[in-house]
Each structure stands twice: as structure tokens, then as C-alpha cells.
Amino acid sequence: MTLAHPLANRLVPAATVLAAALVLASCSPAATSSDTSTDAGTPVTGGTLVYASGDAEPTCLDPHVGGNYPQALVASQYLETLYTKDADGKLIPWLAEDSTVSDDGLTRTVKIRDGIKFTDGTALDAAAVKTNFEHLLNPETASSTGYLALGKIDSMDAVDATTLELKLKTPDNSLLESFSMPWVAIESPTALKRTQAENCASPVGTGPFKVESWKKQDSVNLVRNADYVLPVSTAAHAGTAYLDAITWRFIPEAATRYAALQAGEVQVIDNAQPDAIAAAGKVSTIKHLDAPRPGASNRIELNSSKAPFNDAKVREAFIHAVNVKASIDSLFFGTAPQSFSALSSVEPLAYSEESLFGYDAAKAGKLLDAAGWSNRDSEGYRVKDGTRLSLTFPVSTSQSIPAEQSLFEQMQATAKESGIEIKINLLDLSSWYGDLAKNDYDLVSAPYTKVGPSVLSVLFSSASTIPAPSGYFANHSQVKDPALDALLETAGSTKDEAERKDLYTQVQKKVLEGYYVLPLYDQQNHFLYSDKLKNVGATTAVATPTFFDTWLAN
């Protein structure tokens, strides 16, 4: 879809990954995309790109339904969004032409671009967009991500063919950012009329590719959209995509995936593991694309709703009792710079505070002594009133990669020296969600991808501690602070960009200084690809790669 290179300056098709990553860590703006220099040559039309995904196969190819990252990855090839981000990370209109908001912030008018058709021939207009939003808000669609993003829409009206007017319940300054996410992508209203099963199997969009067939448990076959119209000329070329087709395969085993890339059976792999990235750095025929996801950083949340973490001193002590830096350095081979923020480094409003997060066992010990955890039991763990200082840590084996699991194990070993016991439970996703719903955790690492700082509302407002019917809630540190709620409320509705930035900075300060989270690194999103593939690097606003400009050398 979008030809934007958001933060192309960070997307490093690196020959020597280690070096590149180090450069990236120290001075990212200076490192520029080397697309032009390495991908010189005349583009060739034709060929099939084989993409190997390590994610679980989506159960539905329409990202309106449910709405997770694996869906966004594949849907970014055949669906497009109203807004997107350009190479500099700036939000730009895409299928939309423009948008304005009323003074009270309660009416949002969106101009839809003219002359664009879905691959089934249906024309894109305001009514089509309205149908999409209605589809997302309909409970029967069972959308979770897109549904939340559009939650503030009260009613909508297609005033004319190109004008959509949205009435909001409360002002929402993150709406355009929400429009840039593939979970709110625009599909053909004609196709949406089909049954959900049919639409899940072959959603119809405006993207440079379209879904040809889906062999369940094997691959999704995408073919070039021969009538593609590029909405905004941000790409290196116009017209249709160079590639004839994309075969989207699912290869769950990381080692097999990398072996398949080495053997030339596939040209792109996602979820590349740190050791494979490091190994690929020594292979001249394999290149690396590092595209951290927007939204939250990858962090450990400390459950403040119950003992022992209802005591801020204990939270602070825990954060100083673990040595995150040493572990990241050795386990991630320089592919993941340490984060000191609740937000991803690709978020312009991210606020970082390194001084809060150093390993300092002596300080941890003092804090724990002061908090009353001064006695030790026979195994060397601290006790207070006969209770051991023990932390339950459910870990989802499908969300935490092996290197991350090892990082947690190392934290466990280091925390033990300070007398803190960490109990790691490796669980499948269903059981993991089950433990969270039962409030049976003290520590948890849960990813959350969203465009813009409004993710902070999702993660830290009191409202987010109220569970959905499934028991799910996003505020895992269970911060309930009226002052924080008020800040988030104003930050989310103000029309003043400077005030928005200031308020979100205050929010992040409060969260970090309250020791509710231990940031680790950005949500890792690494791709490795064959050097036969040229012009790789364009991504959507949620950092999913797109292949409109990509061509396959003979």
C-alpha cells in the first residue's frame, strides 16, 4: 500500500548489521537509507516474491475482523488506508485528500480522493468509507483494534460523493493517526456485503496487489493489481507494481525460516531472530530491514494493584535489582537498543528518562530494607510478615521470542541476588490471557501497537483497568490515578499541538517516575531479505513493509 518510508532513516538495509545497529543506537538521524546506492539498476518487471512469515496464520485476511499484527502485515499488500506516514514519519493523506475539524472538535470532515477503484471495479467514494466504518463498528464484525480506534465516532454522513462528515462523542485528536492503521483500511463496500467467511477469504481493496487465493495452513497468493492507481506520488515509480505476484507463506520455526532464506526458497522473512540477524550480517547476499513498531515500547509492566507492587518503593527496588542492559547487549547482538520510554522510539512524542533505570543492587537493597523486606529466608529470598518477596511472571511463548525469554531468565537470576524471587510461567496465548484476567501476575510483558501517543490512554487510564467481557484489559500495570486520567483526557482532545506534546510528556513522566513500567527496547520488527530483491524498505504507518516499488533481479 503506502509508499511512504516512515522513518526511512532508521530502516537500514545493512550489510554489516552489527555496525549499522551500533550507528543506529548512537545517532539514528544520521544513518540514511541506502536504498539508492545498493539497489542501483534498472527495475525489472515480473517475478514472484515468496514471503515467509513467522507469525501464526491469520484466521481472517480482513483486518477489520479482530485486528492483529499478522493481519496488518499481509493486508498492507492489498488494502490501503485514508492516511499514512511518509518517509519522514509525517502523517499524510492517502485515500483521503484532506480533512478538517470544527472549532469545538466534534465534527470531522474527510474529503475522499476521486478516481480510485477497488479491484472489483467498485468506485471509492464517501459512501464506501462510511460502509467501512459501519462494518468496523458493527458487533457482528467482531473488530477489536479498529473498533477501539473509531470508538469516539457518534454518527456519520456521506454529504456528497467525496465528503464524509463524522460527528464525535468527544473531541479526538488521534483520529487521523487511527485512520493510518491497516485495521481501519478501506475495503470495497460491494465485497463487504458478502458473508464474513467469504470476505475473510478474499477481502477486496485498492492496493497494488490483490488476493488471488488462500490455501489455508499453507500460503496466501497475491497477484498484481493491473489497474492500480497510486494516490500520491511518493514512490520511486508510478503505474503498477513490478512484481507479478507475492506468495505469502507461514513458516513458524525461526531456524527453518532463516534456512529457507539462505537456500533461496524465500526472498523475505519476518520475525528475524537476533542471532540470525547477526549471522546474516556476515553474508553479503542477505540484507536487513529494521522497522520498529509504533505505539508502546516493549516493556515489562508492574502490577500495582496488589502486594508487593502496590508499594512504589518495591517497584523502584525491583527496577534497580535487574540488569537489563547486560542482557540486551549479549542476547540481542546489538540489534535492539535499550529503551527508557513507555513509547516506541518512532513516536515523535516519546519521552525518555535513562537516569531512572540503572542496575544498582545496593540501592535496591536499601529500598527493600526501608519497605520492610529486610529479613531473608533459608533460600536467601526476602520475607516480610512471613511472606516471601515473590513475583509471578506469566510469559507468552508466542509473543516473547526466545531471546526475550532468556532475558527474563537472566533478570530472574540477577533479582535473586537482591533477594527477589521471580516465578516465570511459560504459557500459550490463551492461558496467558487467562492469568492476566485472573489478576494472577506481578510482572507482564505485553505488546501494544498503535499509531500515535494516544496509546498512552489505552495503557494507563483508569478506564482501561475495566475488563472487556473476555476479561481482557490493556492497563496491565493497573495505574489508577485521577490526575493521570485528567492529563490523558485533555491530551487526547486538545487542538493545540504544543499543548498535546507537553501533556503527553507529563503523562510519560508520571508513569516512568511512578515505576509502573520497565522499558526494554522498541517492539522488534526485523526483516531479512535476499539481495536479489531491490527497493525494499517502504513501510506503512504501523511499520509493515510494502512491495510496490520492489523488484526482483534476475
Partner 1 sequence: MSILEPALPSVDPVLNPHTARKARPGGTFARQIAAHIPWVVSTAVLLFFVLAAIAPNLLAPVDPLAINPSEAFSAPGAGHLLGTDESGRDIYSRIVHGSRASLLIGAAATGIGLSLALVLGTIAGFGGRWLDFGVGRILEVLFALPGLLLALVFIALAGPGVATTVIAVGLTTAPGYARMIRAQIIALRTSPMVEAATVLGRSRTRILTTHILPNALAPIAVLATLGLGQAILWAASLSFLGLGAPPPAPEWGTMLSAGRTYLVLAWWMTLFPGLAIVLVAAAATVLSRSLKSRGPR
Partner 2 sequence: MSASAAATNRSHGSFGASVRWLLRKLGGGIFVLWAVATAIFFGIRMIPGDPAEAILGGPGSQASPEALAAARAQYGLDLPLHVQYFGQLWRLATGNMGTSYSLKIPVTDVLRELVPSTLILAVLALLLAWAMALVLAVLSTRSGGLGTALASGLEIVSAAVPHFWLASVLIMVFSTALGWLPPVSTNTPAGLVLPVITLALPLAGFLGQVMRDTMEEAQRSAFALSARARGESETGVLLRHSLRHAALPGIALSGWALGSLLSGAVVVESIFARPGLGRSLLSAVTTRDIPLVTGVALLSAASYVVIMALSDIAERLVDPRISAP
Quote the CA–CA distance of 136 and 149 in Å, as a whole number: 10
Question: Alpha-carbon distance 103 to 109, whole Å?
Answer: 12
How far is residue 75's CA from residue 72's CA, in Å, rounded to a whole number? 5
Cβ 37 to partner 1, closest distance in Å?
29
Binding partner 1 by CB under 8 A: which of 9, 196, 425, 493? Answer: 425
Q: Which one-letter amino acid corresponds to residue 401?
A: I
Q: What CA–CA distance (Å, rounded) separates 353 from 343?
A: 11
The owner of cell 523486606 is 373
56 vs 413 by CB, closer to partner 1:
413
Beta carbon nearer to partner 1, 39 or 404: 404
| Site residues for partner 2 per CB under 8 A | 52, 56, 59-60, 65-66, 68, 139-142, 144, 147-148, 196-197, 200, 215-218, 249-253, 255-257, 259-260, 262-263, 265-266, 428-431, 433-434, 437, 468-472
C-beta of 73 vs 128, nearer to partner 2: 73
410's grid cell = 537472566
Q: CB count, 10 Å around CB of 497?
A: 10
The distance of closest approach from Cβ of residue 194 to partner 2 in the complex, given in angstroms and rounded to an integer, is 13
Minimal CA–CA distance to 76: which of 200, 211, 237? 211
- C-alpha 489: how far from chain center: 23
Write the burial class of residue 346 (CB in 10 Å: 0-12 exposed, 13-18 middle, 19+ buried). buried
Query: What's the closest the beta carbon of residue 409 comes to partner 1, in angstroms?
Result: 5
Residue 291 contacts which entry, partner 2, partner 1, none (Cβ below 5-8 A, type-dependent): none
From 60, 61, 71, 80, select the one nearest 206 (Cα to Cα). Answer: 80
Under rule CB under 8 A, residue 426 binds partner 1 = yes
Kindly tell me which of 61 and 512 has the beta carbon lying closer to partner 2: 61
Nearer to partner 1, 69 or 432 (CB): 432
d(CA 356, CA 151): 35
Q: Are 314 and 367 in contact (CB under 8 A)?
A: yes
Question: Which residue's CB is nearer to partner 1, number 294 or number 394?
Answer: 394
Shortest reach from residue 505's CB to partner 2, in Å: 28
User: Which of partner 1, partner 2, none interacts with 402 (beta carbon under 5 to 8 A by kind)?
Assistant: partner 1
Query: What is residue 208's three-state secondary structure?
Result: coil
Q: Which does 19 bind (CB under 5 to 8 A by kind): partner 2, partner 1, none?
A: none
Q: What are phi and psi of 442, to 5 degrees?
A: -115, -30
The DSSP symbol for 354 reads: G
Helix (H, G, I), strand (E, B) or coil at 271: coil
C-alpha–C-alpha distance, residues 5 and 538, integer Å: 5
Q: Does residue 397 touch partner 1 according to CB under 8 A?
A: yes
Number of neighbouring beta carbons within 10 Å of residue 379: 9
Alpha carbon separation from 72 to 157, 204, 218, 366, 370 (Å, rounded): 27, 14, 18, 47, 48
Question: Rounded CA gap, 253 and 247, in Å?
Answer: 18
Site mask for partner 1 (CB under 8 A), range 235-254, x = bound: -------------------x
Extract the C-alpha cell encoding 305. 494493584
* Cis amide bond preceding 447, omega within 30: no
- Check binding of 48 to partner 1 (CB under 8 A): no
Work out how close the CB of 329 gets to partner 1 at its nearest, in angstroms, rounded to a whole number.
7
Smallest distance from the beta carbon of 302 to partner 1, in angstroms?
20
* Segment interacting with partner 1 (CB under 8 A) among 111-119, 186-194, 372-380, 426-434: 426-434
If binding means CB under 8 A, how many residues of this protein chain bind partner 1?
Answer: 32
Q: 220 or 319, CB closer to partner 2?
A: 220
Restricting to residues 261-290, name those near partner 1 by CB under 8 A: 273, 275-276, 278-279
Return the one option of partner 2, partner 1, none that residue 216 interacts with (CB less than 5 to 8 A, by type).
Answer: partner 2
Considering only 161-169, 293-301, 401-409, 522-530, which stretch makes contact with partner 1 by CB under 8 A? 401-409
Give the whole-angstrom CA distance, residue 168 versus residue 175. Answer: 10
Q: Is 494 in the site for partner 1 (CB under 8 A)?
A: no
Closest to partner 1 by CB, 240 vs 405, is 405
* Location of C-alpha cell 551500533: 22
By CB under 8 A, is residue 392 in contact with partner 1?
Answer: no
The reply on whether position 462 binds partner 1 by CB under 8 A is no
- Residue 261 or 368: the one with the smaller Cβ distance to partner 2 is 261
**Terminus-to-terminus CA distance in the chain, angstroms?**
24
CB nearer to partner 1: pick between 333 and 529: 333
Binding test (CB under 8 A) with partner 1, winner from 23, 25, 106, 424 = 424
Site for partner 1 in 300-319 (CB under 8 A): none
Q: How far is the CB of 39 from partner 2 (least distance, A)?
A: 26
Asked if 413 interacts with partner 1 (CB under 8 A), we say yes
Tell me which of partner 2, partner 1, none is bound by residue 66, counting a contact when its beta carbon lies within the kind-specific cut-off of 5 to 8 angstroms: partner 2
Cell triple for residue 199? 470476505
Looking only at residues 319 through 378 of this chain, which bind partner 1 when binding is defined by CB under 8 A? 323, 326-327, 329-331
Distances, alpha carbon 126 to alpha carbons 79, 109, 156, 479, 546, in Å: 17, 11, 10, 40, 26
CB of 461 closer than 8 Å to CB of 410: no
| Residues at the site binding partner 1, with contacts judged by CB under 8 A | 254-255, 258, 273, 275-276, 278-279, 323, 326-327, 329-331, 397, 402-403, 405-406, 408-410, 412-414, 423-428, 431
